[in-house]
Structure 1
Amino acid sequence: MFTIAVRAGPGRLAAKAPQLARAFHSTPKNTFFTSRTASLAGRANSKTSSNILSRLQGASRGYRTQYETYVDPATRRKELLRKLMVGGAIFGGTLVAVNAMFNRETREDGGMPPFERSYLNRTFMHTGLGVGIIGLTAYQMVQSGFVYRLMVTNPWVVGIGGIALSIGSMMATRAIDPDNYLPKYACWALFNATQAALIAPLMTVAPPALLARAGLYTLAMMGSISIVGATAKQDKYMYLGGPLLAGAAIVAVSGFAPLVLPATAVRTLAITENLWLYGGLAVFGGFTLYDVQKVLYHARAAERGIIREDPVNESISLELDFLNIFVRMVQILMMQQRRK
């Protein structure tokens, strides 16, 4: 998921460098192309993996009956209202806290110009549409048993092939002229489908309620940070590109630590896991702030005719930020659930 366009020249390489490392973080460490899951696929008929495989093979009925029980409609409505209120409180509190911490200096020109606002809104619309496509595609992959077929094949071949297809489809999307709607949106849809295949195994081990909570927390975090980036001074956070790239490299190294460290190094593995989870949250939260300001920077350049308007390309970076934060939110919530 490198985000350098094929048409980009050497002069633009440095400007797009902060997006290079994000490709390898949108998949959790324990997905279908890790050694742990390879072991799981090898023991598909054993009792220890029967719950996971039954969810994969059972399609709609087997997947739903794991978590769904009858609840009185009135109780369900009250629970939904309570969750919405909690979600609103989380979003509002996060917004106030992040604004108070990072956004003490806002725009002095009376607000965001109309063209920048329109360009940012179109970018967010494409980001939401892309995330929705990823979620629905991943759900269908689980229901149809496609994820099970992936897991019982060679996980390394599937993983490497999936990453290569993801990078290729993203580069093709970025390289296609925005006026060529059909091929550009076709490549963008293929890119979203590859992201769905990379996160679908996570949906087989996490209950729907936990996935919904993780999605709510991710929306609260990204929404508040995006508002900060949109209302801050022009280019105030553009300097974050270099430090974020360094942080992403450290997070990437910590993610590969379980593959090279011995299982006896328990304390070191715990440190690297926390660094991958919580450090990754901080890094990709920073990338969200950087990407929102970059969208506004590109909007000003497009208004002057320097570059072409392309909200599809802009949305790819924000989609990757969302997926990286969401995956870590799911893993953190699952860790907390196991401790209980």
Structure 2
Amino acid sequence: MNDTKPIVAQPSAQTSWQRYVMTAGTVGLAVIGTQWLLNRETREGLSPGEQSYLNSTFKYTGGGLVLTAIAARTMFRAGLPFRLMAANPWLVLGVSLAGSIGTMMGAMYTSPENAVTKHLFWAGFNLCQAATLSPLWFFNPALLSRAALYTCGVVGSLSYVGATARNETYLYMGGPLLAGLTVVALSSLAPMALPLGLRGLAIAESISLYGGLAVFSGFVLFDTQKILKHARMAEAGAMPADPLRDSIALELDMINIFIRLVQILAMGGGRKK
């Protein structure tokens, strides 16, 4: 009779500690987040002007994201990512940056009275984003759907917090968020410029992914309150109403959160086989 017992793999001590820390961190953040959400100071409600401006901004944000997703899928099926990988990477980076920044600046700084030109720049900006994001379709569509769902949940909840908080509660965060964004950007570029070992690469990647997720989540709060401030200024006649311009910042926040969630989920084995 065979007395051989099945071998059960035991997690290492390091893995166990990582699980404990992640579990404790998740519980702690849930408690802090619940306390912050339920017991924070809120305003009585949005004025009709603020509601209209915020709704218009989110319509442009949603429309831009839909246009970007459809165009990215079309470009992927046309083989654009393969041609991008075969081209000079520095040339691709330069052209994509020039196209994205140029069309973004055109959309943001063209007067709302010149609606046709402004919307053409806006469409061009979203097409540039689509070209940059088209390689994401190499991932499993189910993974992309999950990341999109999580992104909507994160941005929706943070936008609600920003919209219901007292005026200018989170506008002070502009400076710290820019500093955090600089750290995230440098951590993304570090493997290209510094001879990092495996441990250094893992740390740099973690800062880029999880730090970037935190920074752009903070930007959602900041940009939501900035939109409401612009709504009040437009209502007072201090500036022209331009929800299209404000939508671009929110759209970039969502795209960056989405990209990092895709990468985090892919680390768990979400690539196409």
| Residues 1:100 and 2:15 aligned together | no
- Aligned-partner Cα distance in 1 for 2:53–2:34: 22
The one of 192, 211, 224 equivalent to 2:126 is 192
Residue matched to 2:145: 212
Letter in 1 for 2:249: S
| Residues 1:312 and 2:244 aligned together | yes
CA change 1:200–1:182 in 2 (3 A) is same
Q: How much does 1:260 deviate?
A: 1.7
| Secondary structure at 1:336 match in 2 | coil
| Residues 1:141 and 2:75 aligned together | yes
Q: How much does 1:113 deviate?
A: 0.8
- Aligned-partner Cα distance in 2 for 1:99–1:160: 44
- Residues 282-315 of structure 1 show CA distances to partners (whole Å, capped at 9, x for unaligned) of 0000000000000000000000000110010000
- Aligned-partner Cα distance in 2 for 1:95–1:287: 20
With the length of structure 1 as denominator, give the TM-score of the two structures: 0.69
| Secondary structure at 1:177 match in 2 | coil
What are structure 1's unaligned runs of at least 5 residues? 1-93
Equivalent residues of 2:56, 2:243 under 8 A apart: yes
User: What RMSD over aligned residues (CA atoms) do the two structures have, in Å?
Assistant: 1.9
With the length of structure 2 as denominator, give the TM-score of the two structures: 0.85
What are structure 2's unaligned runs of at least 5 residues? 1-28
| Residues 1:227 and 2:163 aligned together | no
- Aligned-partner Cα distance in 1 for 2:123–2:34: 34
CA change 1:159–1:124 in 2 (3 A) is same
Structure with larger Rg: 2
- Aligned-partner Cα distance in 1 for 2:32–2:247: 26
Residue matched to 1:171: 105
| Residues 1:118 and 2:118 aligned together | no
| Residues 1:257 and 2:190 aligned together | yes
Q: How many residues align?
A: 243
| Residues 1:158 and 2:100 aligned together | no
Letter in 2 for 1:313: R
How do residues 283-322 of structure 1 correspond to structure 2 at under 5 angstroms?
Answer: 283-322=215-254
Q: How much does 1:338 deviate?
A: 6.7
